[in-house]
Amino acid sequence: MSEIGLNGPLQFELLPDGQSARLTKPFIFKLACGTILAVPSGFTTDFASVPRMLWHIFPPWGTYSPAAVVHDYLYQSGIFTKEKSDRIFLYLMKKLQVPFWKRQTMYWAVKMFGKQSWGKCRKANQ
């Protein structure tokens, strides 16, 4: 499998709610344009935000987990537009060799339904 973490795989601790995690080490990754970014240690994520009824097809964690954590970070930080953050999510899933049908479905889900989450993050950062 192609890994995207320049400093190794995700390192995290599961939080008491059993559904979210906190990074215990920064997760450093490289974009297609060559830019290097880092999700900081201490960042909290729920991995892939998937409705529970779809977990049998798209569980919250899987091969795509590093891409989902980066996507959560990009939404929360607002360093890129929603559109660019969603495209980065798709790019990273491809690098992680997530099957085409799965990465396309997940990409279109965040593209179409991520607006509320994006807006909530923008409001929280004001």
8 A C-beta contact, residue 63 and residue 97: yes
The number of domains in the chain is: 1
- The answer to whether position 57 is within a domain reads yes
- The answer to whether position 6 is within a domain reads no
- The answer to whether position 4 is within a domain reads no
- The answer to whether position 1 is within a domain reads no
Range of the domain at 53: 12-124
Q: pLDDT tens-digit profile of 36-57?
A: 999 999 999 988 877 677 777 7
- The answer to whether position 7 is within a domain reads no
Q: pLDDT tens-digit profile of 7-36?
A: 889 999 999 987 889 999 999 999 888 899
- The answer to whether position 23 is within a domain reads yes
Burial of 80 (0-12, 13-18, 19+ CB in 10 A): middle
User: How far apart are alpha carbons 113 and 10 in whole angstroms?
Assistant: 26
Global pTM reads: 0.89
